[in-house]
Amino acid sequence: MNNRITLVLSVLVLIVLQTANLHARDVIDMTGRRVSVPEDITRIASPYRVATEMLLVLGAAGKIVGVSTMPTRVTRIFYPGLAQAGIADRHSSLEEILSLQPDVVFTSPGPVVEGLEKAGIAVFCLEVETPDAMLAGLSMIADVLGQQEHAGKIAAYYRDKLAYIAAKTSGISPKKKVYLIGARTLTTIGGDFYQDHIITYAGGINVSHELKGGWVGVSREHLVSWDPDVMVMVPYFQGVSSTEILNDKALSTLTALRNRQIHTFPSYIDAWDLPSPESILGIMWLANTLYPDQLRFDMSEEARHFYITFYGTYPQEISLGGGVKP
């Protein structure tokens, strides 16, 4: 009797697996892995902040059951249902992510990927530290979700704006030197981070371009020798303020401080310096900041057009403050 029950259960499991395979298709992720994703995706976990942004612009908010960070106030206005999603970031345990019961997980490479695969979960990995890679990742996710046309329009907009900025800034010499501030005044980004490309595409020079390793620590001597024309903070680090920097006597000779050129990247759905479609607004904003005589984007209107066109709504005006005025 027990053998018969075992045989029946085995057949049922085989039927379920074969049925699932009939409704799945293989895609290649950004690490070259072959991933079998379900045709009918209703539950998505996104332990990677960047992946979440891509999913939102591609209209998948209603399918997200897990995100890496609590949605911002603006994001909750855009997508009120997202506040009920579970929290699971790239450091979450296998059990935490599995508890969300996702059909597919969009994340970056990490130790949990293998465990999710063994549990039968489709895991799509992203590596997006350049604008080209970000747009490629967006296109790949769009292919999984059946939103290729929308992703193509976003990419065309992104590239058109880059070409316009390049045409306006190509003849400028010397270029403005930019120092991007991390969690502390003496933390910045190396040339292998997405923000390095934002500075370059905005027509500037990242003074720490030659460094590698993502967020890196530097000395005051480094900063003084670089003498940036402009310093830019990011909105997701709260450990430093423009007042603190201006009051640092060891940095008082810097051109950026003497001219009070300290600014903060705007943020809406998320910060405009992160590797997401919103970053084209960050490039436009920074180009405006560096070269106000050459570029005159009306960023309030540009933001309105961008969010209505690609997200379908613009529920409140963006705040573009954060700069220190002369």
Q: Average per-residue pLDDT in the chain?
A: 91
C-alpha–C-alpha distance, residues 92 and 213, integer Å: 23
Q: Which residue has the tokens 């540009």?
A: 302
Rg (CA), the chain: 23
Can you tell me the mean pLDDT for 275-286? 98
C-alpha–C-alpha distance, residues 238 and 146, integer Å: 38
Output the pLDDT for position 43. Answer: 97
pLDDT at residue 25 is higher than 60: yes
pTM across the whole model:
0.90
Selected from 3.30.930.10, 3.40.50.1980, 3.40.50.2300, 3.50.50.60, the CATH number assigned to the domain covering 169-311 reads: 3.40.50.1980
The domain limits of the chain are: 27-149, 169-311
pLDDT tens column, 284-315? 999 999 999 999 999 999 999 999 999 999 99
pLDDT tens column, 173-224? 999 999 999 999 999 999 999 999 999 999 999 999 999 999 999 999 999 9
C-alpha–C-alpha distance, residues 283 and 281, integer Å: 5
Q: Quick check: helix, strand or coil at residue 263?
A: strand
Which CATH architecture best describes the domain 27-149?
3-Layer(aba) Sandwich (3.40)
Q: What percent of the chain has pLDDT over 90?
A: 81
CA angle 286, 53, 319 (to 5 degrees): 45
Q: How confident is the model at residue 49 (pLDDT cuts 50, 70, 90)?
A: very high
